[in-house]
Amino acid sequence: MALVTVTDPARDYLAQLIEKQDVEGMGVRIFVTQPGTKNAETCLAYCPPNEIVPTDEQVDLGKFTLYLDHASVPFLEEAYVDYSKDQMGGQLTIKAPNAKVPNVDENAPLPDRVNYVLASEINPNLAAHGGEVSLVEIVDESVAVLRFGGGCQGCSAVSLTLKQGVETTLTERVPEITEVRDVTDHTQTENAYYQ
């Protein structure tokens, strides 16, 4: 079963919302739209009894049942739902670190492990400059061929980013990778962060 943590304040807040719906047996479904992509979003929705999907995993939270969308389960690993009160009333927060790429272990295929490191560690840092990097292929069993995009394409600092950032991180996290190569057309500089 996917490990989804729902804090007590979040459980109590959701239970209050459910109670206002006045529907017997109402629960909450958690799911990921566009899972495994950079556009993935983790969502919560009311789940009345007539919308329960038999393949969903069920978690009894005491005051209501949480339904985990079956297709989203690998992407909900380590998800965390919290509620904190503030001056405007409060805020419900959902964090799902594996929504964009499911967590993989050392036995996963090499491209999956490389993509996981790119999505979970490298691209969040590149996003600060509007950039991203993706795996094109793995050649010679140990060379990751990458393509940069967004603010990284045509950026004057991309060689530094490639060697000191991307290559260092990938070779540390995925020991089978010994080298990275960039196949990006860096003559296109209109979106480059550094020109």
Q: Where are the domains of the chain?
A: 4-95, 110-182
- C-alpha–C-alpha distance, residues 121 and 72, integer Å: 21
Q: What CATH code is assigned to 4-95? A: 2.60.300.12
The SS3 of residue 161 is helix
Burial of 155 (0-12, 13-18, 19+ CB in 10 A): buried
**Residues 129-182: tens digit of each pLDDT:** 777 888 999 999 899 998 877 766 665 656 666 667 888 999 999 999 999 988
| CATH superfamily ID and name for 110-182 | Fe-S cluster assembly (FSCA) (3.30.300.130)
The SS3 of residue 144 is strand
- C-alpha–C-alpha distance, residues 105 and 64, integer Å: 32
4-95 with 110-182: one CATH topology?
no
Q: Are 40 and 33 within 8 A, CB to CB?
A: yes
- As given in the structure block, the two tokens for residue 25 are 């047996």
pTM: 0.60
Residue 155, annotated as binding a ligand: yes
- C-alpha–C-alpha distance, residues 20 and 87, integer Å: 22
**Residues 34-77: tens digit of each pLDDT:** 887 778 899 999 999 999 999 999 999 999 999 999 888 888 98
